[in-house]
Amino acid sequence: MAVETRGIVLMRGERGPGIAVEVLADDARLSLISGSGLIGEWEVGSFGIKALQEGFSIWAEGEELVLKTENDVGLAREMGLQTASPRMARRVAASRRPKDLPWPDPVPETPRSYVAAIAIALGGMLVLFGSLLLRTDPALADRSVEAGLGVAGNFWSAFGAGGLLMVVAALALAVRARVARGLAVLSVVALVIVFGNAAQHSTPESDLLIAYGFIAGGVVIGVAVLFGGLLGEHD
């Protein structure tokens, strides 16, 4: 885009008001025109130009001129000056609009992962289902929830509480709650402890092995999430 502005030109070292000129510049040539005619017109590459604190120093046809314009910044940008003074460089940089600046390519957003939440939820549901199967044992028909926390009640309510906590942890993981990771770890560790006690002290009948199988499957899934590094994927 060509630049048209007004200014004054004088010989290097010369004092005085200078000559008023019209300045035309594009990527091909620079022209200085006064009211009486053309002062100079040079093809790009045939003259030297350097930005000063104010204006420009031009070497052309064995002479050195000083040019000061009303739009030094626009002229410097149009001529593609690489040797501008620090002051001119700051002015050129400040004049650049955001659309003129090279914007970096946008960084693609990392897809949100729900693997950990889904796995923990599945494990919790398996544990809950297993605890319900334990509760259907006729021998526990008259047992309270408190009794289900120990050996006499086959730990069914303890497993139920652990499975429910896993489901809550899965929901927290899905919404990225701060307590999500802590809940997930707490629920799995608690179930591992309860399952270890049940395996050590209980002697389940064959018709309850399916219930313990569901519970074991849920615990295994929870442990796999903890040690598989999946909890970090929800961040």
pLDDT tens profile 24-75: 887 778 888 887 788 788 887 788 888 777 788 888 877 888 888 888 787 7
The verdict on 44 and 129 lying in the same domain is: no
More confident residue, 109 or 69: 69
Q: Do 226 and 152 share a domain, yes or no?
A: yes
Whether 163 is in a domain gets the answer yes
Residue 159 burial by CB count (10 A; 0-12/13-18/19+): exposed, middle or buried? buried
- My answer on whether 90 and 151 are in the same domain is no
Q: What is the CATH number of the domain that holds 78?
A: 2.30.29.140
Higher pLDDT, 88 or 37: 37
Average pLDDT, the chain: 77
Instruction: Judge contact between 130 and 156, C-beta under 8 A.
Output: no
What band does 83 get if pLDDT is binned at 50, 70 and 90? very low
pLDDT greater than 60 at residue 97: no
Same domain membership, residue 55 and residue 153: no
Report the distance separating Cα 18 and Cα 9, nearest Å.
5
Q: Is residue 226 part of a domain?
A: yes
Beta-carbon contacts of residue 128 (< 8 Å; ≥ 6 apart): 159, 160, 163, 164, 167, 218
List b or e across 204-233, with b for residues whose CB sees 16 or more CB atoms inside 10 angstroms: eeeebeebbebbbbbbebbeebbeeebbeb
Query: Is 188 contained in some domain?
Result: yes
Residues 66, 176 within the same domain: no
Are residues 119 and 215 both part of a single domain?
yes
Range picked from 34-48, 91-105, 117-131, 202-216 for highest mean pLDDT: 117-131
Residue 73, C-beta contacts closer than 8 angstroms, at least 6 positions apart: 88, 91, 92, 95
Taking the C-alpha atoms of residue 171 and residue 8, their distance in angstroms, rounded to an integer, is 73
One domain for residues 94 and 120: no
What whole-number distance in Å separates Cα of residue 90 and Cα of residue 87? 5
Structure tokens at 36: 């009486």
> Is 125 strand, coil or helix?
helix
Same-domain status, 95 and 148:
no
pLDDT: is 83 or 54 the higher one? 54
**Number of domains forming the structure of the chain:** 2
Report pLDDT digits (tens) over 138-178. 665 555 666 657 665 677 788 888 889 999 988 888 888 88
Domain carrying residue 62: 3-100
Of 100, 124, 140, the one marking the end of a domain is 100
Q: Choose the final residue of a domain: 100, 131, 160.
A: 100
Look at residue 126 in the predicted model and tell me its pLDDT: 92
DSSP-derived letter for residue 103 is: P
Looking at the domain assignment, is residue 88 inside a domain?
yes
